[in-house]
Amino acid sequence: MNTIWKAVIGLSALIVAANCLTCRHCSVGVFGSCLFGSNTTCVNSTESCYTGEAQFNATGSLTLHTRGCVNSNLCGLTLTGSLLGAAYTSTYKCCVTDLCNGATSVQLSAALCAAILSSLWGFWEL
């Protein structure tokens, strides 16, 4: 029975660790600067931090930037679309470490995840 509990707790610890990726979030930025940025925690283990660019084809010089969490399937893709009749091309560059998409320090959510994992560690002694 102890083996089953250890396996359940170990799996839970892995799920908690996977859900603790912290990324820089920015809804819109211009000229490489984020307007109203913050940090966010990704909600599932299939997400990565990303830095995205949307370049409007007609102007060539106007590029909008975004940052946040994105499904890892979109990483490295180039997508096209239109906004109010203006065509654009967008790209997603991804990374998978805390705040790798623009911030300079690890924030509280990483510390919280470490605390949760260390509290679960005591169950391994059962």
Residue 89 · residue 80 · CB < 8 Å: yes
Q: What is the CATH number of the domain that holds 15?
A: 2.10.60.10
Question: Of 23, 43, 26, which is closest to residue 106 (Cα–Cα)?
Answer: 23
Question: In angstroms, rounded to a whole number, what is the distance separating the alpha carbons of residues 27 and 15?
Answer: 27
Name the residue range of residue 46's domain: 2-125
Question: In angstroms, rounded to a whole number, what is the distance separating the alpha carbons of residues 24 and 107?
Answer: 10
The structural domain count of the chain equals 1
pLDDT at 54 over 60: yes
Q: State mean pLDDT over 73-95.
A: 91
pLDDT at 44 over 80: yes
**Average pLDDT of the chain to the nearest whole number:** 75
Other Cβ atoms less than 10 A from the Cβ of 76: the count is: 11
User: How many helices and strands, by DSSP H and E, does the chain display?
Assistant: 2, 7
